[in-house]
Structure 1
Amino acid sequence: MFLRPQLRALLRDGSRGAERHDARNLQRSWRKFAAFAYVAEQYGYRFEGLSPLSPKGSPNPYFAFRRLPDAAERVARSAQQYPTAAEGGQLPGMRPGGNRLRPLAEVRQDVDLLHARIMVDYSRTHRRRGLTALLVLLIAMLIPLSQTGFSSQSLLVCGGIWLFFAALWLTGLVIARHRYSKYSRVLRDAGVDWPPNPSLA
């Protein structure tokens, strides 16, 4: 449903020669988004990580794709081999028909490594996202309390609600850290340094 406009937006930026393309995960699956990142590379844009345009604390951040030096050649090659890709046809590296973001066996490892990079980056956003939500919740509860009065009962109820959501955030933080460690290990074992060290760029 969202793949066609997302691919067209990528191709539009490519035709304009944009140095960076920003995209959100509209596929409802991080593995499918990783497959989209592989397709984007075949059209001249390599996954670069979290975009500077992404709002802090967003549950669905923007990711940046950087234009490759041989982008024009990649676009020409993909257009020749997959002429109907933008209209719903087969995508580069993907199986034909049905779910268009199912990687072929020969590119599955590349897609898996892209998935690991995306998950590492996404896991890094959890702390900001949760802290922002907890702060907003605290302010939201203080506003009605200031109108009705700070009775011990109302403070206990609000405190209990806030602690419940704080516990949910802490649970999510543990899961995010586990996910970060898991996918960082996958990348390390594959010899991929991610996130890239800016001092080495």
Structure 2
Amino acid sequence: MTAPARLAVLISGGGSNLEALMRACEDPAYGAEVVLVVADRDGCGGMDLAEQRGIPTATIKVNDYAERADWDHALATELQGANPDLVVSAGFLKIMGPQVLQAFPGKIINTHNSLLPSFPGIHGPVDALNYGVKIAGATLFLVDEGMDTGQILAQCTVPVLEDDTEDTLLERIKVAERAQLVETVGIMMRSGWRVEGRRAFLNSED
């Protein structure tokens, strides 16, 4: 039997996306396992979820380092020690630097709560709501040196309702976003992925 692919997951909060991934990994047919969880701050509930499952964890805070490059180096070193096949940024609120990106070229993904390239940044849902769009959603993409600018792997949509608030729209997006993340990571780990210019494809075959 082929060994499951190795996932390292980066978090900054409660870990709902992490929990969804860990539950999916309980099925051998999913083809992956979480081998490391890294947080950028203390008190992340997702760390408790990982530790309950015996998954190694690390907390690497920017403020613990004199320079941002030192933090970037520490994060790259921690991730390399786990030898992941894919690094999943799941609600991780830090932009990764060149050392991490160079250590895992084309192997870091992030999920964002808007339909990129529209509404990048940390206020995607409220920006979409204020703009008056009728459809919102989430995007899973490959991380590059920009902010929410990498090649798109998958997108899902949710309707914007007339009585939506930021909170109700965000919650609807989160549900779709989690499902998309789990499904897409599974496909990537079982079938691979490839990039051709600006386009990314969920299999490694030509």
Bin for the TM-score computed over the shorter chain: under 0.3
Higher helix residue share: 1
- TM norm structure 1: 0.26
Higher strand residue share: 2
Which structure's relative contact order is higher, taking Cα pairs within 8 Å and 6+ residues apart? 1
- TM norm structure 2: 0.25
